[in-house]
Amino acid sequence: MQVVSIISTKGGVGKTTTAANLGGIAADAGLRVLLLDLDVQPTLSSYFTLHSHAPGGIYELLAFNEQDHARLISHTVIDGLDLILSNDDKGQLNTLLLHAPDGRLRLRNLLPAFRPHYDLLLIDTQGARSVLLEMAVLASDLALSPVTPEILAAREFRRGTLQLMQDIAPYRRLGIEPPPLQLLINRVHPVSANARLIQHALHDLFATEPGIVVLDTRIPAVEAYPRASTQAQPVHRVEYRRPKGRVTPAAFDTMRTLACELFPAWESAFNQLRAGAHRRVGR
């Protein structure tokens, strides 16, 4: 089971959108996917229509070490796409974990119970520094961080996310290697030359940071992303063909390219996906 946390100390950069769409395309490619919504605001929890709603969620998982999957795991209407709901509406988990001796390692210690059942665990997080965020990163094989191509976002990234990675580095002494950080440039406006310049600047800025990879795949700013979320569908099902007169590739192609870049081991599964195969699934 690959564990990926989607992180940024900034809100609105596309974390939840990326988690939902990556989870959706991976499930459609035949992988068994579990989404974990660690955001206090349960945006990912309400992205997809649920086929069955478990009584528990992250609160029971993290506060009570609930082991019974039937009480924890909800199922979305998408085959192979399961979800542990965010239900920490009072925001108690952070304080609880802050004072627990195993706080930042609790999720990591709980993963063995999920490993046999899933190929991919995607963790969506809140856009702020917190114990929960550090816990998610320490449980991950890879941290994926969307960043929008504005210089302000880049500065915030350097200040927030890089600091977070530095702060968890001492866990190396316990034999826990912090995961590599992969940067996903999201919401690129295709026509603006200025945006392209900033993109190159971002590339140079982060290429010199050790342990950080800037992904080749960039996500264009297209209305298909908010539209897909309104339709409770992953975007590759919604925009499977490039609209006439647009240069930017179809979201189907973007998401497949991203999935292949992130998970080369599953490339053939992603390449077997057929554009538009789920046309009639939308409701």
Ligand X SMILES: Nc1ncnc2c1ncn2[C@@H]1O[C@H](COP(=O)(O)OP(=O)(O)O)[C@@H](O)[C@H]1O
Residues that bind ligand X (CB under 6 A): 11-17, 43, 127, 186-187, 219, 221-222, 225-226, 229
Q: Does residue 15 belong to the site contacting Mg ion (CB under 5 A)?
A: yes
Least spacing, CB of residue 71 vs ligand X, in Å:
27
Mask: binding to Mg ion, 25-64, rule CB under 5 A, as x and -?
Answer: ------------------x---------------------
Q: What is the DSSP letter of 263?
A: -
Paired strand residues for 219: 186
Residue positions counted in the chain: 283
Q: Within 13 Å and on the Cβ side, how many CA atoms surround 263?
A: 24
Kindly provide the b/e burial profile for residues 122-133, where b requires at least 16 CB atoms within 10 angstroms of the residue's own CB.
Answer: bbbbbbeebbbb
Q: How would you classify the pairing of strands 181-188 and 142-147? A: parallel
Query: Residue 199 touches which of Mg ion, ligand X, none (CB < 5 to 8 A by kind)?
Result: none
In angstroms, what is the minimal distance from the CB of 13 to ligand X? 4
Q: Which does 256 bind (CB under 5 to 8 A by kind): Mg ion, ligand X, none?
A: none
Nearer Cβ to ligand X (10/66): 10
Contact (Cβ atoms closer than 8 angstroms) between residue 76 and residue 53: no
Question: Per DSSP, what are the bridge partners of residue 186?
Answer: 219
For residue 27, CA distances in Å to 5, 41, 150 come to: 17, 24, 32
Q: Give the shortest CB-20-to-ligand X separation in angstroms.
A: 8
The CB-of-219 to Mg ion minimum distance in angstroms stands at: 15
SS percent in the chain: helix, strand, coil, step 5: 45, 15, 40
Q: Retrieve residue 39's tokens.
A: 């955001």
Q: How far is the CB of 16 from ligand X (least distance, A)?
A: 3
Tell me which residue has its CB nearest to Mg ion.
16
Q: Taking CB within 5 to 8 Å according to partner kind, which of Mg ion, ligand X, none is near residue 17?
A: ligand X
Report the residue from 16, 18, 74, 86 that binds Mg ion according to the rule CB under 5 A.
16
Question: According to the binding rule CB under 5 A, does residue 104 interact with Mg ion?
Answer: no
3-state SS class at 225: helix
Tokens of 275: 């554009």
Partner from ligand X, Mg ion, none contacting 222, C-beta within 5 to 8 A by type: ligand X
Nearer to ligand X, 222 or 273 (CB): 222
Applying CB under 5 A, the residues found at the interface with Mg ion are 15-16, 43
